[in-house]
Structure 1
Amino acid sequence: MGDKAHAHTGAAGRAATADRPSSIRNVVLVGHSGSGKTTLVEALAQTAGAVNRAGRVEDGGTVSDYDEIEHRQQRSVQLSLVPVEWGGYKINLLDTPGYADFVGELRAGLRAADAALFIVSAAQEADAVAGTTRAVWEECAAVGMPRAIVVTHLDTARTSFDEMTRVCGEIFGGDDPDAVLPLYLPVLGPEGPDGHAPLTGLTGLLTQRVFDYSSGERKETPPSDDQHAPLQDARNRLIEGIIAESEDETLMDRYLGGEDIDIKTLIDDLERAVARDAFHPVLTAAPAGEDGRQGIGTVELLDLITGGFPTPLERPLPAVTTPGGALRPAPSCDPDGPLVAEVVKTASDPYVGRVSLVRVFSGTLRPDETIHVLGHGLTDPGHEPRPVHEAEVRVGALSAPFGKQQRALTSCIAGDLACVAKLGGAETGDTLSAPEDPLLMEPWSMPDPLLPLAIEAHSKADEDKLSQGLARLVAEDPTMRLEQNQDTHQVVLWCLGEAHQDVALDRLRTRYGVQVDTVSHKVSLRETFAGPSSGRGRHVKQSGGHGQYAICEIEVEPLPPGSGIEFVDKVVGGAVPRQFIPSVEKGIRAQAARGVAAGHPLVDVRITLRDGKAHSVDSSDAAFQAAGALALREAAAETRIQLLEPVSEVQVLVPDGYVGPVMSDLSGRRGRVIGTEQSGAGRTLVRAEVPELEIGRYAIDLRSLSHGTGRFDRSYARHEPMPPQLADRLREQQENTANGA
């Protein structure tokens, strides 16, 4: 790192390729929105020679040109792949959205990668860095994924590399801040009118050489006299940090004994420590200039990726089972082994159709071969995934994306990634394997979408296309859930946030040609009797011809919550003939399902049939059904009907500093806090029961309240009586809506 040859090994216009897993590096870029991930990817591509000096690909676009929605919304909304070559290695750069609503794309990037670059803007507040990236850092730590940190935007006024390095050590270092240390110090030019000095180069702490970019090209020079003191302090700390993580137990004793450890040993130990996730170097980078100047720090970063990050051979692969659930040995990353691959992302191209981004874990994927596609499908939260779709399909063309271009590939070996066109009905998360030995990979975790979006087709023409468009939308994005609510008769898209909703509506309109209208989301209310009552249903029509005759008398009494509808027959003396007792029950249950007051299903009552009358000729099944329904409506008119609202059990995980505001906010939503408990260092889990009417937008409100650091999940607990004043207000709103007010 710092003493290697740096010839451009990529070639603009040619797809980067790899002939063995050891020459592949899969790296995901993680960071807050606006931290500079996409700009850094473009700079790395230019330094690697994958684009021309102006940072453009052949069609005049850039490597980040991927989705029209991203251009319209002015933000990254999906995972994109940019493959480059450097020093004989193929590097797959996976650029992820930084906005919290698109965490599903981030999780897909983590699945496809073997190492992560955390991009931190020096212009950000420390709280923003901690809130948006610590959770992802902990996810990577849990699976032992190697990580490095890149500080950007040092060319912004009032920024400090030293301060940001200190913040990163506190946030990411945990109990060992010396495991998060810089490899290079920034070299600053003369101060400008705003008092800020621009970044002109880097000083390598191990090599003690300055890499000067001020001319537009990277030039190596010795450090000046005024650079020696800060260099030595930082260098000594770095060497001690490397030696502390060294696998050579004698190295520390030799160093403390005064031995001058040679640079090659230190670099080798550093690379091994990074690869096994024991050390997290901090680097800095600045984008390429519009005049074609090379991006600062890009060479050093590419060297770190190829020298310090692991190959696919070194990363453990996800667990694999048969379609029946039997555990199989984890596949090895062998191009000659059995095929095991996974769809990590699904997108739609206006010309090609559905395009799948595939990570090959074992074997080799080739065009025109027949493979088995097996998917987990959708599952309810808390339940194990279950295969619900599988098929044998023929592999279409393989390609490597580069901006809007797709560069053809002849194969994709184990450890590599490629785009596959027309892969049948394959969805994100599906496993690809050999037809003679179908396999299923363990799914990666996805957040549960908790923000509802109720939609209606704008016109009859849109209605015909809506179901297909929604099905394709959900197949592409596993963080989106479709619900056809049987109680409210609404079509609901559950999303992760407002930006996620905007993208869903945009895709429906532009990709699938479906115009929809958004409507207020309704929760599933219930009705019950507040007290006992009775009713008489009389359905008599005898004006000529075959008449209708049925009379029944019922008593209704409330039951404990969760009892449902209980029907009891206590007719004596045959007042209602036996063959019509089921008819009365059917009519009562049908009316209960429609509701008796505000149109919500009736629950938790016992309905007893006491008496009635029949006619030897005019009585019928239909007549007694109608009489039963009338009797229930009359009983409802004689007492107070209570509205029941659904209550959810909510679990909110937040840093300790936000526990008070969160609990206060939940109380303001008519919530009952059940308790709190510690959940890891500095985080608290708050448990509460909250009416669903009050948490429709909680996904947005919690993000604002906790500065993006909190997350929650919810599950249905029960229905409870709604406060009378709120129930009256709801009834008034329904009446106004029904009257067209």
Structure 2
Amino acid sequence: MTMSADLSLYRNIGIFAHVDAGKTTTTERILKLTGRIHKLGETHEGESTTDFMEQEAERGITIQSAAVSCFWKGHRFNVIDTPGHVDFTVEVYRSLKVLDGGIGVFCGSGGVEPQSETNWRYANDAEVARLIFINKLDRVGADFIRVTEQVKKVLGATPLIMVLPIGREDTFTGVVDLLTQKAYVWDNTGIPENFTVSDVPADMADDVEMYRQQLIETALEADDDLLMAYMDGEEPSIEEIKRCIRKGTRDLLFFPTYCGSAFKNKGMQLVLDAVVDYLPSPTEVDPQPLTDEEGNETGKFAIVSADEPFRALAFKIMDDRYGALTFVRVYSGVLNKGDTILNSFTGKTERVGRMVEMHADERNDLTTAQAGDIIALIGLKNVQTGHTLCDVKHPCTLEPMVFPEPVISISVTPKDKGSVEKMGIAIGKMVAEDPTFRVETDIDSGETILKGMGELHLDIKVDILKRTYGVDLVVGQPQVAYRETITQAIEDSYTHKKQSGGSGQFGKIDYRIRPGEQNSGFKFTSTVVGGSVPKEFFPAIEKGFATMMATGPLAGFEVLDVEVELFDGAFHAVDSSAIAFEIAAKGAFRQSMPKAGPQLLEPIMKVDVFTPEDHVGDVIGDLNRRRGMILGQESASTGVRIKANVPLAEMFGYISSLRTMTSGRGQFSMEFDHYAACPSNVAEGVIAKEKEKKAAKA
């Protein structure tokens, strides 16, 4: 049985934007217009439907992307609200994998802000077609055309201007639809349905004509025949133009651009119509490639069709008052309640007990789902974000997910004995939800170490532990994830022998240790000839070196980018064993690494600061004091963007000093860029501190 006819009526879309561009309000309005909420919530009153965690309501930011289904003009929208803050980009990234299209929301006065750039880049990598919605046009300083220019300059994208605003700032009343040349004007009640459609205001006629020509010329780039006819003076029909816009949008040639005020409910219907008209259905998107365990593509694809074997990707895990929810995008096949499915990552099967479609905090039970659906499964046991769920008879892997390594850690200890177990259970749930959040136990001190992507990321985790799980913690100072490496090549030899009655242990290795390529990790090669060390001992030697890479010679941090070459050695017919050679390798590491010019590395962050013009000097001076390298600056209409590389160690508490310097108007975002050598004075301090810690523990 095929149900593919229905799929053309599906739109899986994400809404993404910079913090404060009004993304959650936009999502709210979409849900309201599509009849899914009766009472509107406002973010700034702290009650919006998709933000149902306490932290979100309080901070006014969306932390978790919630998936919601709704309907518009006979089409089914699955809307995923993604977080905009940089510490949560992994959420954005994961949401993009399961979307077919998106709406990028920008603030009419703030314009294209640093974070929007990261999210935009992710969306380009994932080849997601997008509309642009320029919001908050009722704000002071809002300027639609200026923001479209920024989209060109900062994002390097072509905005396809579909509407022009009527009025500016507090006189903004509606928009002119360039294709139909009709004006949509809303009254001041804030009720989205209260609008009238009329002719273009006389004073806008010239602009409308000019932008309409631009629109048609750009759109027709998607169809050479129509473009030629147009050049010969033949005006295409609205249907033909729409078809071109649809194709060009899907091929990322341009991005249909709309404007309005989500808060005042002006201009939203046109955006919803555009989702139907221009964003692709699940079958119009290139299908997801299947991969093997290592992540290499197999050349097969998950074709979006109900007739194919079942394949789905778990893209988000949430724990709420009903138990663990696993959000799943079904790529192909059909899933029925009661089915047994395979998790290809763990190799274990899971039984589908309940499946639901979500509407923020409410849910409807389903008995079946099919290709193109985004649903939540309740009560799956061992599924984590990024796992593939599939038909037991047709195992497969949808792209494996690669998550960035955490760069910052804090130690936490529960305030009382009763919280210890509570904390363990809570942290287990949180790790399943967020793969960039890691937890370790410090073996010597017994402290719990939380690791994450930035200060805000960990702040919020501690907050969730306190509020959601009621675990009170004593939080240590944030710690930077330093690494170590070596700078010189060295040739050396090590013999391990032990004789104690009966058979002894013996293993001799001759080896070279040298600095590896950047980001190469640990590499082991053997050039032994003539069997002076038998092949069967190579894995043990490699394991010995590899396990030692976890604790470097300087201060015990993990070691990066080292190559070890085994070129000779000796063995004993009776006394040699794998364990003897593993011990030899460990001893060799201890003996030789300190002689190979060990060096401390620190994480360098890519920092993007936005500041009003009159504070540029202060901000740059401050970044220099933080050992930053200024990479460039560009002025925008509302201020200056400064790009720099700055060591993470110098960035603690940066947000409060930036706010002080810029009287509260500065913003910044940062993400991990690379590891670089620590200057010797800094390195000495770090090493001394680590030694003190060890001494204190001893």
TM-score range, shorter chain: 0.7 to 0.9
313, 318, 327: which one pairs with 1:347? 318
Aligned pairs for 1:596-675 (under 5 A) are: 647-648=600-601, 650=603, 653=606
Aligned to 2:198: 221
Whole-angstrom CA distance in 1 between matches of 2:409 and 2:40: 44
Contact 2:28 2:40 in 1 (8 A): no
Structure 2 spans left out of the alignment, 5+ residues: 505-547, 549-553, 559-593, 612-616, 633-640
Contact 1:525 1:645 in 2 (8 A): no
Whole-angstrom CA distance in 1 between matches of 2:496 and 2:355: 66
* Alignment RMSD (CA, Å): 4.7
Aligned pairs for 1:551-630 (under 5 A) are: none
Whole-angstrom CA distance in 1 between matches of 2:64 and 2:407: 19
Contact 2:410 2:479 in 1 (8 A): no
Whole-angstrom CA distance in 2 between matches of 1:55 and 1:662: 37
171, 175, 178: which one pairs with 1:198? 171
Aligned to 2:637: none
Does residue 282 of structure 1 match 2:268?
no
How many Å apart are 1:79 and its aligned residue? 0.4
Contact 1:101 1:497 in 2 (8 A): yes
Contact 2:408 2:478 in 1 (8 A): no
5, 16, 20: which one pairs with 1:34? 20
Aligned to 2:589: none
Deviations 1:100-151 (Å, cap 9, x if unpaired)? 1211221122112111211000121x4xx24221222223223332112101
Does residue 230 of structure 1 match 2:207?
yes
After TM superposition, the structure 1 stretch with the greater mean CA deviation from structure 2, 398-407 or 337-346, is 398-407
Does residue 321 of structure 1 match 2:321?
no
274, 283, 304: which one pairs with 2:274? 304
State the TM-score, normalizing by the size of structure 2. 0.72
In 2 relative to 1, CA 36–686 (structure 1 residues): closer, same or farther, beyond 3 Å?
Answer: closer
232, 237, 241: which one pairs with 1:257? 232
Aligned to 1:712: 672
Contact 2:329 2:372 in 1 (8 A): yes
In 2 relative to 1, CA 86–703 (structure 1 residues): closer, same or farther, beyond 3 Å?
Answer: farther
Whole-angstrom CA distance in 2 between matches of 1:391 and 1:698: 44
After TM superposition, the structure 1 stretch with the greater mean CA deviation from structure 2, 499-508 or 80-89, is 499-508
Contact 2:340 2:351 in 1 (8 A): yes
How many Å apart are 1:68 and its aligned residue? 2.5
Contact 1:345 1:356 in 2 (8 A): yes
93, 100, 125: which one pairs with 1:114? 100
Aligned to 2:371: 414
Local SS of the residue matching 1:319: strand
Does residue 338 of structure 1 match 2:313?
no
Aligned to 2:438: 481
Deviations 1:170-210 (Å, cap 9, x if unpaired)? 22345xxxx3131011122xx8xxxx433222111111111
Whole-angstrom CA distance in 2 between matches of 1:181 and 1:484: 52
Which residue identity is paired with 2:315?
V
Does residue 246 of structure 1 match 2:196?
no
Whole-angstrom CA distance in 1 between matches of 2:72 and 2:137: 25
Aligned to 1:530: none
Local SS of the residue matching 2:227: helix
Local SS of the residue matching 2:128: coil
How many Å apart are 1:155 and its aligned residue? 0.7
Which residue identity is paired with 1:169?
K
In 2 relative to 1, CA 526–317 (structure 1 residues): closer, same or farther, beyond 3 Å?
Answer: closer
Local SS of the residue matching 1:149: strand
126, 129, 136: which one pairs with 1:143? 126
Whole-angstrom CA distance in 1 between matches of 2:447 and 2:620: 32
How many Å apart are 1:676 and its aligned residue? 9.6
Contact 2:655 2:668 in 1 (8 A): no
State the TM-score, normalizing by the size of structure 1. 0.68
Structure 1 spans left out of the alignment, 5+ residues: 1-16, 290-294, 376-388, 528-559, 571-576, 583-592, 594-598, 604-640, 678-682
Does residue 170 of structure 1 match 2:153?
yes
Does residue 90 of structure 1 match 2:76?
yes
Contact 1:25 1:306 in 2 (8 A): yes
Whole-angstrom CA distance in 1 between matches of 2:18 and 2:379: 33
In 2 relative to 1, CA 42–337 (structure 1 residues): closer, same or farther, beyond 3 Å?
Answer: same
Which residue identity is paired with 1:266?
I
In 2 relative to 1, CA 374–700 (structure 1 residues): closer, same or farther, beyond 3 Å?
Answer: farther
Which residue identity is paired with 1:187?
I
Contact 1:457 1:466 in 2 (8 A): yes
Whole-angstrom CA distance in 1 between matches of 2:658 and 2:350: 42
Local SS of the residue matching 2:357: strand
Deviations 1:293-318 (Å, cap 9, x if unpaired)? xx222221111111101111121233
Which residue identity is paired with 1:185?
L
Whole-angstrom CA distance in 2 between matches of 1:121 and 1:256: 36
After TM superposition, the structure 1 stretch with the greater mean CA deviation from structure 2, 476-485 or 304-313, is 476-485
How many Å apart are 1:493 and its aligned residue? 1.4
Whole-angstrom CA distance in 2 between matches of 1:725 and 1:653: 24
Contact 1:21 1:416 in 2 (8 A): no
After TM superposition, the structure 1 stretch with the greater mean CA deviation from structure 2, 102-111 or 512-521, is 512-521
In 2 relative to 1, CA 106–229 (structure 1 residues): closer, same or farther, beyond 3 Å?
Answer: same
Percent identity among equivalent residues? 24
Which residue identity is paired with 1:236?
Q
In 2 relative to 1, CA 390–670 (structure 1 residues): closer, same or farther, beyond 3 Å?
Answer: same
Deviations 1:432-484 (Å, cap 9, x if unpaired)? 11122222221244333212121123222222333333222111101212233
Does residue 273 of structure 1 match 2:233?
no
Deviations 1:10-45 (Å, cap 9, x if unpaired)? xxxxxxx99732221111111111111111111112
In 2 relative to 1, CA 517–92 (structure 1 residues): closer, same or farther, beyond 3 Å?
Answer: same
Whole-angstrom CA distance in 2 between matches of 1:432 and 1:135: 29
Deviations 1:244-265 (Å, cap 9, x if unpaired)? x222x23233323322332222
Contact 2:319 2:429 in 1 (8 A): no
Whole-angstrom CA distance in 2 between matches of 1:525 and 1:656: 24
Contact 1:703 1:711 in 2 (8 A): no
Contact 2:408 2:480 in 1 (8 A): no
Deviations 1:303-346 (Å, cap 9, x if unpaired)? 11111011111212333235587836112101121111011100
